[in-house]
Structures are given as structure tokens and as C-alpha cells.
């Protein structure tokens, strides 16, 4: 079995790895590259393989940096089955239809200007029709049951505890076993179960997003969140929270439900400003069988606890724009999680200049994104062609991450047996180097960093 690294090598987006196994070509993930406009142009470049010759695709989870180019793969000739955990398949439908409609409307807007200027018109990366064609190829699978993705190539999905449906992928072929971690969640994440143990491997491809960081204990972070909401209420401003539509948004609602009374959550107006957030909540409600025991207990006490009485899920543009009239007392959760697109940019435009506003970062901010600039403390940003001086208070709440920290990653690898050689993917180089060093120290394993285009043998 061989692995060719096709994406997320030295960066945290664009996840994609090509397996040559049992005489077949199996692709693991086909993610979108995310960052600034220039970085994202790389998405349109040719794949480092012939899409029509891929026999099957296996998806680790539904985040767009792992599935965002699946419709493009189909548009470019892929005709095989797509395997994903059942909840991932449900979430992928929402994510890809949304990604396609954003791509279509962005291009339509640019094309109106280009037409006036007599410039050639642009094509979207893919259309909603391409997304639907891709989704029709989906073959949902439960956790923990082996299935064949091509003759002689067997796969099993193990709960990765990162988002609903997230999986570490075990692959058996040619008498060898490969484990691809996907994104690994921290233990103790609400709603989700802890990552399942993966028993043994001949080679491990492992994420390393927070390979050089330790998160604050979750309990401390949750307490801090309560204090931030209280401070925000007292300062009279809004709280703006960039969050991916899947994962952190639901965790935030979970903590607000859990602490509804002691945090005084009832006095805020809460907006989940996302056309797809309501649909994502439905997927959560449909897959309660994947919840951990605490979440099952909360759901048993109160049906649909994430649908807080003062929560408004805003779908239309008009509803979203109406939030602009609120200068205080609102908690606004919107995507994209790294502020490189989506409705969050409108809320930042409204609130960044206000001294009494608070911006809460609860997820990873990749290099080159607006979120990263804000976390790094820039004084001015450009939004919609307008320079905005940043006066709002910025807070990074690291302990709510959907990714395991260095200790969690070391622990996860130990649970695979702690002996297999490791290739670190999906992390910036500083994080990968730090994690590699710690893995070598603790387990004496051979640990290397993937590079784009490199092929390794399992």
C-alpha cells in the first residue's frame, strides 16, 4: 500500500491523501483549501491525480476543509462511491449545497461587474448541480463495522470525537493496515463521545493542528465563557462569535443551555445567523444515538435543549441584516469560523469599531485568514473595501477547541499501540515539529512530516 500526500501538508486545510491499495486508487478526503483570496485560488488548480481513475472516496468528517472539493472531483470525472459515516453524509449534504450556492452567488456578483467592464465571465468552482451529483454517490456507513471500498480494500470508521460523525479511518489492504486520524477531538467534549481507540497500525497519518499547544482545561474555559457573557452584558455591547456551522456552534448552545440560569442567558437575544444552522440542528437531533452519556441525560431532561427559548435561527438575508440594528445585548454566532467569508464579516463590520463589543474566538484561526489577523491583534482591518479601526475587545477561548491538544494527540497515538511509524499531516510546521519531537521522546517512534506530492509506502 502506498500513500501520496495531496493536501494539508504543512497547513491545516485542503485535506487529501491518495492510497494505492490492492491495485486500486482510494482517495481519503477531498477538502477545500481555505485562507485569503490568493490561497483559495489554489482550489481551482488541477488535482495531482486523474479524478476519473479514483475508484472510491472515503471522508473522515464533514468540515469543508475535508470535503469541500468533492463536487469538483465529480465534475472532473470521479464516478466511484463515496463512503462516510451516516451523520457525516447528512452534514455533507448541508455543507456542500451551501458551499455550491456561495460559489454560484459570488461568481454571479463578480460577473455583473465584469460584464460592465467588458471582461470575460468567470465560472464557479462548482455548481449546486455538481454538489447534488456528488451527494448521489454517497454510501453512508455506521461506525465500527468493516466494509469493502474496492476488491481487497477494507475500511472501518472509528469515532474521532471531533464533530458529529467524525471518524478516524482504518484501511486494510495488501496485508497491511493504515490508520488516518482525520481530525481528532479532545476528550470531554460535550455532546460527542471521546475518540475511540484504534487498535494497531502499520502506519499512522495523524493530524497535528495543536501539536505545539496545550488547551486550558475545559471546565476553566466554560467558567471563563460565563464571565465573558456577564462582562459583555455589563458593557452594553454585542458578543460576536465566529464559529463553523458544525461543531463549535452546537457546543456553545450546549453550554448556554446547561448554564441558562446561572449565566443569565435569558436576558440576551441570541442569533445563530446561518442559513444552514437550523438544518444542522436537525441532524444533531436525528443522530442522538451518537451522543455521550451527559448529552443523553440532558436530552432526556429537556427535548431539543439546543433550541434555547431566546434563540433565533436566522436564515434569510433580511433577517440577518435586521441584527445590524442591535447595538447591544445580542450574542451573534455566525460563520465562517475563520472569518474568511460568510455573514460573520457583516457582523464584524458593524461591531469591530465599538469599544463595548466583544469578539470571541473559539476555534482555530489559520494563517492568512481575517480571524488570524484579529487574534494577532491588528489595529485595522479592511472589510467590504472599508478600513475599520478595531476597538472591540478580542478574546481567544482556546479550551473549546474541537481538536485535541498536544497531550491529547500523544494520548491518541499511544492508544493505537504507540509503535507504528507516523507521518504528521494537517498542521502548520511549528506545530508538527513540536509534536514530532514529543512523539519520538515518549514512544521512540519514527515520525516524519508530509510534504506535498511525496509518496510513502505502508
Contacting residues toward Zn ion, per CB under 5 A: 63, 183
> Which DSSP string do the residues of 40-75 spell out, in sequence order?
HGGGGSPPSS-GGG--EEE-S---HHHHTTHHHHHH
Q: Closer to Zn ion at the Cβ: 95 or 270?
A: 95
CA distance 6 to 16: 5
Chain residue whose CB lies nearest Zn ion: 63
C-alpha grid cell, residue 362: 473559539
- Residue 210 CB, shortest distance to Zn ion, in Å, is 12
Q: Closer to Zn ion at the Cβ: 170 or 183?
A: 183
Q: Closer to Zn ion at the Cβ: 8 or 373?
A: 8
Long-range Cβ contact pairs of 52-55 (< 8 A, separation 24 or more):
52/76, 52/77, 52/78, 52/79, 53/25, 54/18, 54/25, 54/26, 54/27, 54/78, 54/80, 55/24, 55/25, 55/26, 55/80, 55/149, 55/150
- Residue 366 CB, shortest distance to Zn ion, in Å, is 12
Task: Collect all residues with Cβ–Cβ distance below 8 Å to 376 and sequence separation of at least 6.
Answer: none
- Residue 401 CB, shortest distance to Zn ion, in Å, is 10
- Residue 158 CB, shortest distance to Zn ion, in Å, is 15
- List the one residue out of 321, 379, 317, 310 whose CA is nearest residue 350: 321
- Residue 429 CB, shortest distance to Zn ion, in Å, is 19
- Residue 15 CB, shortest distance to Zn ion, in Å, is 8
Q: Closer to Zn ion at the Cβ: 169 or 257?
A: 169
CA distance 372 to 366: 6
Torsion of CA 432, 450, 31, 344, to 10 degrees: 30
Q: Closer to Zn ion at the Cβ: 178 or 366?
A: 366
Q: Closer to Zn ion at the Cβ: 249 or 351?
A: 249
The residue written with cell numbers 462548482 in the block is 126
Torsion of CA 396, 402, 404, 405, to 10 degrees: -10
Around Cβ 51, how many Cβ atoms within 10 Å? Answer: 20
Q: Closer to Zn ion at the Cβ: 63 or 438?
A: 63
Q: Closer to Zn ion at the Cβ: 183 or 405?
A: 183
Q: Closer to Zn ion at the Cβ: 63 or 215?
A: 63
Rg for the chain (alpha carbons), in Å?
22
CA distance 46 to 69: 11
- Residue 300 CB, shortest distance to Zn ion, in Å, is 29
Query: Given CA atoms 308, 273, 370, 210 in this order, what sign does their dihedral have?
Result: positive
Q: Closer to Zn ion at the Cβ: 68 or 71?
A: 68
- Residue 400 CB, shortest distance to Zn ion, in Å, is 14
Q: Closer to Zn ion at the Cβ: 181 or 406?
A: 181
342 contacts 223 by C-beta, under 8 angstroms: no
- Residue 192 CB, shortest distance to Zn ion, in Å, is 12
CA distance 270 to 247: 17
Task: Collect all residues with Cβ–Cβ distance below 8 Å to 132 and sequence separation of at least 6.
Answer: 97
How far does Cα 417 stand from its chain's mean position? Answer: 27
- List the one residue out of 338, 346, 276 whose CA is nearest residue 313: 276
- Residue 49 CB, shortest distance to Zn ion, in Å, is 23
- Residue 247 CB, shortest distance to Zn ion, in Å, is 7
Amino acid at each position: 500500500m502506498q500513500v501520496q500526500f495531496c493536501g494539508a501538508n504543512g497547513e491545516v486545510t485542503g485535506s487529501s491523501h491518495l492510497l494505492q491499495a490492492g491495485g486500486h486508487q482510494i482517495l481519503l478526503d477531498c477538502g477545500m483549501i481555505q485562507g485569503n483570496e490568493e490561497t483559495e485560488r489554489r482550489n481551482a488548480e488541477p488535482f495531482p491525480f486523474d479524478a476519473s481513475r479514483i475508484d472510491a472516496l472515503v471522508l473522515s468528517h464533514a468540515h469543508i476543509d475535508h470535503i469541500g472539493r468533492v463536487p469538483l472531483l465529480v465534475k472532473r470525472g470521479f464516478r466511484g462511491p463515496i463512503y462516510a459515516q451516516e451523520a457525516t453524509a447528512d452534514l455533507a449534504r448541508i455543507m456542500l449545497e451551501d458551499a455550491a450556492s456561495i460559489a454560484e452567488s459570488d461568481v454571479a456578483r463578480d460577473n455583473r461587474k465584469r460584464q460592465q467592464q467588458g471582461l470575460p465571465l468567470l465560472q464557479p468552482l462548482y455548481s449546486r448541480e455538481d454538489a447534488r451529483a456528488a451527494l448521489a454517490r454517497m454510501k453512508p456507513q455506521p461506525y465500527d463495522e468493516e466494509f469493502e471500498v474496492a476488491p481487497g480494500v477494507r475500511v472501518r470508521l472509528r469515532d474521532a470525537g471531533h464533530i458529529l460523525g467524525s471518524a478516524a479511518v482504518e484501511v486494510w489492504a495488501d496485508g497491511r493496515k493504515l490508520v488516518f486520524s482525520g481530525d481528532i477531538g479532545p476528550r470531554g467534549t460535550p455532546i460527542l463521545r471521546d475518540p475511540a481507540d484504534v487498535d494497531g497500525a502499520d502506519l499512522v497519518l495523524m493530524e497535528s493542528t495543536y501539536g505545539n499547544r496545550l488547551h486550558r482545561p475545559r471546565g476553566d474555559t466554560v467558567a471563563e465563557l460565563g464571565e465573558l457573557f456577564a462582562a459583555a452584558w455589563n458593557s452594553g455591547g454585542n458578543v460576536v462569535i465566529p464559529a463553523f456551522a458544525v461543531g463549535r456552534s452546537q457546543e456553545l448552545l450546549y453550554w448556554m443551555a446547561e448554564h441558562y440560569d446561572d449565566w443569565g442567558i435569558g436576558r440576551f437575544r441570541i442569533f445563530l445567523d446561518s442559513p444552514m444552522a437550523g438544518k444542522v440542528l436537525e441532524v444533531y437531533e436525528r443522530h442522538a444515538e451518537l451522543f455521550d452519556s451527559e448529552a443523553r441525560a440532558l436530552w432526556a431532561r429537556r427535548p431539543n435543549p439546543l433550541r434555547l427559548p431566546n434563540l433565533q435561527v436566522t436564515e434569510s438575508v433580511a433577517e440577518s441584516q435586521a441584527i445590524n440594528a442591535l447595538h447591544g445585548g445580542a450574542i451573534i454566532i455566525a460563520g465562517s469560523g475563520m472569518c474568511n467569508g460568510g455573514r460573520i464579516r457583516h457582523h464584524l463590520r458593524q461591531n469591530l469599531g465599538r469599544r463595548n463589543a466583544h469578539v470571541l474566538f473559539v476555534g482555530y484561526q489559520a494563517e492568512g485568514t481575517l480571524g488570524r489577523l484579529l487574534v494577532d491583534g491588528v489595529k485595522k482591518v479592511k472589510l467590504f473595501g472599508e478600513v475599520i479601526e478595531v476597538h472591540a475587545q478580542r478574546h481567544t477561548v482556546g479550551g473549546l477547541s474541537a481538536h485535541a491538544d498536544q497531550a491529547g494527540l500523544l494520548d491518541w497515538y499511544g492508544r493505537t499501540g504507540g509503535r507504528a511509524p507516523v507521518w504528521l499531516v494537517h498542521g502548520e510546521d511549528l506545530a508538527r515539529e513540536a509534536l514530532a519531537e514529543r512523539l519520538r521522546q515518549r514512544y521512540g517512534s519514527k515520525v516524519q512530516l508530509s510534504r506535498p506530492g511525496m509518496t510513502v509506502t505502508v
